[in-house]
Amino acid sequence: MRAVQITDHSGSPVLRQMPAPALPDADQVLIEIKACGLNFADLLMSKGKYQERPALPTILGMEPAGIVRQVGAHVDTLQQNDRVAVFSGCGGLAEQGVFPASRCVPLPANMSFEDAAAFQIAYGTSHVALDYKARLQAGETLLVLGAAGGVGLTAVEIGKLMGATVIACARGADKLEICKQAGADHVIDSETQDIRAIVKELGGADVVYDAVGGAQGEAAFRAMNPDGRFLYIGFASGDMPNLKPNHMLVKNITAIGIYWGGYLKFAPDVVTDSLRQLFKWYEEGKLSPHVSQTFPLEQALVALELLRARKSTGKVVVTMGDG
């Protein structure tokens, strides 16, 4: 089979031919992978900078979707030919993969493999962050930084579904238009406009969803209302925001870290309950994954570079085809 593999953290991923995976163990399934969503975490993992560091060599790809082809002896939740999405952690940028059955989620009948590959991490992160962690309420104001990115755009969608007023912050007119289409009530160009001033003019932010960090995160923090919640989602800028603890104290602001995949280790029901709600919204037509570009597997390295350059909007998906 073909797969995108990393052998050391100093080099670049390589697309190569390699042996097909072994038959699944008792609690695993063998998946014929049809599509895999890319995430900023794939870039961090390739350099050994992600919070999880699988042993090398390893295959990149955290978010595959495909068809169950073989089922382990102890698996009773899935059967052959089921269509599933997998939060794999790694191994998704390949034509086949063996994964724990517990990491697989059956797909709604109306969901394509491309949508499935774009769905779990981005929507799951935003829903757990906004609902379970921040307790976002209808009528509150949500500020989303990096709002045109893979997770940011889902935060805009979900924030609107939850009844919030959504302020979306992104770079450039094209990205801001995509944010408007996703439901943003107000938009801010992070390259040319003053985030703090505009948000304060709009009444301040009750919840900040920060996938960018750095100066943008600091500006957003300074525009927060008392009793606000600041969500650390990621640091796409490369820098962490320097939040002032004394300001947090005076304004009763709560800073919250969110790593969606971490819940699978100590509170998996948080993830499964969230995905159940998200798939229901998808079936009802209330969520529409924004896949900006798809690439065949042979162009996976081009797709990763697009992500690295922050030139994409929504999700970038690699498809395996029939080969």
Domains and CATH numbers, the chain: 2-119+290-319 (3.90.180.10), 121-260 (3.40.50.720)
pLDDT band with cut points at 50, 70 and 90 for residue 11 = confident
Q: What Rg do the C-alpha atoms of the chain give, in angstroms?
A: 20
Residue among 240, 152, 158 at smallest CA distance from 168: 152
- 314 pLDDT exceeds 90? no
pLDDT above 70 coverage of the chain, percent: 99
- 300 pLDDT exceeds 50? yes
The pLDDT tens digits of the residues spanning 101-151 come to 999 999 999 999 999 999 999 999 999 999 999 999 999 999 999 999 889
Global pTM value: 0.87
pLDDT band with cut points at 50, 70 and 90 for residue 322 = low
Paired sense of beta strands 2-6 and 14-17, if any? antiparallel
The pLDDT tens digits of the residues spanning 173-229 come to 999 999 999 999 999 999 999 999 999 999 999 999 999 999 999 999 999 999 999
Calpha distance 226→245 (Å, rounded): 14
Calpha distance 159→34 (Å, rounded): 30
Buried b (16+ CB within 10 A) or exposed e, 139-165: ebbbbbbbbbbbbbbbbbbbbbbbebb
- 323 pLDDT exceeds 60? no
Residue among 317, 258, 20 at smallest CA distance from 126: 258
